[in-house]
Copies of this chain bind each other. A is one copy, B any other.
Amino acid sequence: MQALEERILKEGKNLGGGILKVDGFINHQVDPVLMDECGREFARRFKAIGATKVLTAEISGIAPAVTTALHLGLPVVYARKHKPITMPDQVYLTLSPSHTKGRMVELIISPEYLAGGERVLIIDDFLASGATIMGLVRLAQTAGANVVGIGALIEKRFEGGRKVLEPLGVPIESLACISSMEGDEILFESSRE
Task: Give A residues with C-beta under 8 Å from B.
Answer: 13, 15, 19, 21, 23-25, 27-33, 35-36, 58-59, 62-63, 66-67, 69-70, 73-78, 80, 82, 84-87, 100-101, 109-110, 112-113
Contacts and interface: CB of A to CB of B under 8 A. Distances in A.
A35 B75 CA distance: 11
Given A59-B58, A66-B63, A66-B66, A113 B24 contact: yes
A37 to B, nearest CB: 11
A77 B29 contact: yes
Nearest to A54: B32
A112 B13 CA distance: 13
Contacts of A69: 30, 32
Contacts of A58: 58-59
A86 B23 contact: yes
29 contacts: A13-B86, A15-B85, A21-B86, A23-B84, A23-B87, A23-B110, A23-B113, A24-B113, A25-B75, A27-B86, A28-B78, A28-B87, A28-B109, A28-B110, A28-B113, A29-B75, A29-B113, A30-B62, A32-B66, A32-B74, A35-B66, A35-B70, A36-B70, A58-B58, A59-B59, A62-B63, A62-B66, A63-B63, A82-B101
A19 B87 CA distance: 12
B70 A33 contact: yes
User: Which of A15, A66, A80, A112 lies at the interface centre, i.e. has the most chain B CB atoms within 10 A of its CB?
Assistant: A66
